[in-house]
Amino acid sequence: MACHRSLIALFLLVPWLASVLHPATAWSRHLARTDPTEPIFTQRSFVEKNVELDTSWGRAPGSNTVGFTPGMSWVFSKMLQLNIEVPVDLRIPDDAPTVGAVGDLGLGAQLLLCCEPNGPLDYFSIRADVSPPSGSLKKQIDGSGSWTASLLPARRFTILQQLPDLMVQMQLAYSQDIKPSEASAPTEGSVRQKTFLWNTAFAQQYLNGRLRPVFEVLGTTVVDAANAADERTVIELAADMWVAPFPDDNPLSPVSIGLGWKWPVRGLLEDTLTGVLIIEWSWGT
């Protein structure tokens, strides 16, 4: 627990130090509508300075889960992004009392390697995420922890001159649990679940960036699990919408609001339906 508190304190100090060293850059007025469009369920390919609050709802067989996740990202030298997320979940079973707990913390580092609009890619990043097992297995609110390594390419395409460019972002990732789970077969011992992620997001911007629809195809292939029946490929679809509702001369011009839904079309991971609402204050890329 002391280690978790030290990590949280370190990441919370990042924006404060940035504001002390470069106050004009850190806190000057930013226009959220000028940012690249961020998918809600696929990891974004670009780096960004922001604070946000995610509110989520998920329906699984036999229970609902409501989550509140404050998060913060900061960028150094326009290339290296560090971020932290602290999820707090309420699990509401259909036939049992509601339970709540802090979930697995989210710590991430993303390095933007390149690119440029005239090159083969607009963005290309590598990313590492670690979620220490700070949740509660007993309450079925995380608790296994995980680490993930991702490749994040992105490219803009012109479809028609009359339409905004289409931004395609991909996440190709490998993820593994930190805590092992007991296998369903007694002879197999304990197993750390291993997963491949292959997500693709398609985004456009309308009304000078104030309206930004996103469509996502989310693929998950579980290659090793405690229960052999969980080793399968699941495909989900997601539909998102971002709005930057405030005028450019408004003090709230850095604010964006995102709403996204995802649902399975082949197989089932956990939730049969997931909704996410995000309120974000951005300082740009």
pLDDT for 27 beyond 70? no
Sign of the C-alpha dihedral computed for residues 41, 256, 75 and 18 taken in this order: negative
Question: pLDDT tens, 66-113?
Answer: 999 999 999 999 999 999 999 999 999 999 999 999 999 999 999 999
Question: pLDDT tens, 168-196?
Answer: 999 999 999 998 887 665 556 678 889 99
Helix (H) or strand (E) holding 261: strand 255-266
Least confident of 23-37, 144-158, 170-184, 232-246: 23-37
What average pLDDT is seen over the chain? 88
Q: Partners of 131 in the beta sheet?
A: 146
* Architecture per CATH, 28-284: Beta Barrel (2.40)
- Find, among 200, 47, 198, 46, the residue nearest to 123 by Cα: 46
Q: Which residue has the tokens 């297995």?
A: 137
Question: Using 50, 70 and 90 to split pLDDT, how confident is the model at 19?
Answer: very low
